[in-house]
Amino acid sequence: MGRKGGRQHLKRKPAPAFWPIHRKEAVWTVKPNPGRHPIERSIPLALVLREILGFARTLGEVKTILSQGNVIVDGKTEREELFPVGLMDVISTAEGERFYRVLPSEKGLTLHSIPKDEAGFKLCRVEDKTILNGGNVQLNLHDGRNITIEVKDVSKPEEDVFNTFETLKLSLPNQEILGHFKLVEGAPALIVGGKNIGKHGKIVAIESRPVTKRKNALVTIEDARGSRSQTTIEYVFVIGDTKPHVSFREMT
C-alpha cells in the first residue's frame, strides 16, 4: 500500500532560500507543520529561535525553551517547534523583554525588533470574503484567521465595509478590530512579494485594468527618498491610513 499524505521531512537544498540555514553542512532540516502560512512564506519556530535569535544551539534546547512556555506568538504561548511563523506575526518572550514582528526583506522574511506597545496588535490583510447563512460576513485573512462581521439587516448590510486586499488592525490575542485601512492612493504600504519585496512607502498611483483580475492591477509606491517601485495589488500590504502603524527598525 502506498504512502498517504505529504512528506514529513525536508532536505536543506530545496528549503526556501531565505531560511537562515547552511545548505551543505547537513542533509535535513526541520519542516514546518501545515498551518496558517504556506511553507514558502513561513519559517519554522525552531529556526527562528536557533538560527535567527540565537536562543538555542540545538533542536533539543529549542524544545526545552518551548516546553517551559517561554515563547509567545500572537499573544498565545506556543510549544510546538514546527509551528510556521509568517508575515506580520508577533513573537515575544514570556518575560516581556523582547518583541519582534515578522516582516518581508529583500531575501524573503526577517524579524524586526519592535517596542512593547506594538506587540499588542497585528495587521492582517483581507484575502477573501464569504457570506454565511443568515447574512453575516466572514473575512478570510492572510494568516488563516477568519473574522465574522455580524450584519443586522441583510437587505442593507451597513456593517460590511471591508474589501479584499484591505487591512485590519487586530488586538492580540483577543482579535478585536482596532482599525481598518483601505487600499487607496496616499496610504502607506509594504511590498510583500515579487522583485521589490521589502520596499515600503506611500501609494501614489493605482492603475485600473478592467479586462484583468483586480489582483493584477499595477500599484506604484514611493518611498521617503522619492524612489518609486511598481508591483501588483496582490503584493501590496497596506500598513496604515495616513502613516505606518508598524515600525521598520532593524534587529539589535
The SS3 of residue 116 is: helix
pLDDT for the residue numbered 251: 40
pLDDT for the residue numbered 164: 94
Look at residue 83 and tell me if it is in a domain: yes
Examine the fold and report which residue of 71, 91, 118 is the final residue of a domain before the chain moves on.
Answer: 118
pLDDT for the residue numbered 204: 96
How far is Cα 165 from Cα 176, in angstroms, rounded to an integer?
A: 19
Look at residue 98 and tell me if it is in a domain: yes
pLDDT for the residue numbered 83: 95
- Work out the number of other CB atoms within 10 angstroms of the CB of residue 163: 13
Greatest alpha-carbon pair distance for the chain in Å reads 62
Look at residue 4 and tell me if it is in a domain: no
pLDDT for the residue numbered 156: 81
pLDDT digits (tens, 9 = 90+) for 161-184: 999 999 999 999 999 999 999 999
Please give the residue range of the domain that contains residue 210: 188-238
Which burial class, exposed, middle or buried, applies to 29 when counting CB atoms under 10 A from its CB (0-12, 13-18, 19+)? buried
Examine the fold and report which residue of 118, 135, 159 is the final residue of a domain before the chain moves on.
Answer: 118
Residues 20 and 79 in one domain: yes
Instruction: Flag residues of the chain having pLDDT under 50.
Output: 1, 250-252
- Work out the number of other CB atoms within 10 angstroms of the CB of residue 221: 23
Residues 113 and 135 in one domain: no
Inter-residue contact 18 to 42 (CB < 8 Å): no
Look at residue 87 and tell me if it is in a domain: yes
Look at residue 34 and tell me if it is in a domain: yes
Residues 193 and 148 in one domain: no
Q: Structurally, how many domains does the chain consist of?
A: 3
How far is Cα 91 from Cα 85, in angstroms, rounded to an integer?
A: 9
Residues 97 and 166 in one domain: no
The reply to whether the predicted model has a pTM over 0.95 is: no
pLDDT for the residue numbered 28: 85
Residues 149 and 92 in one domain: no
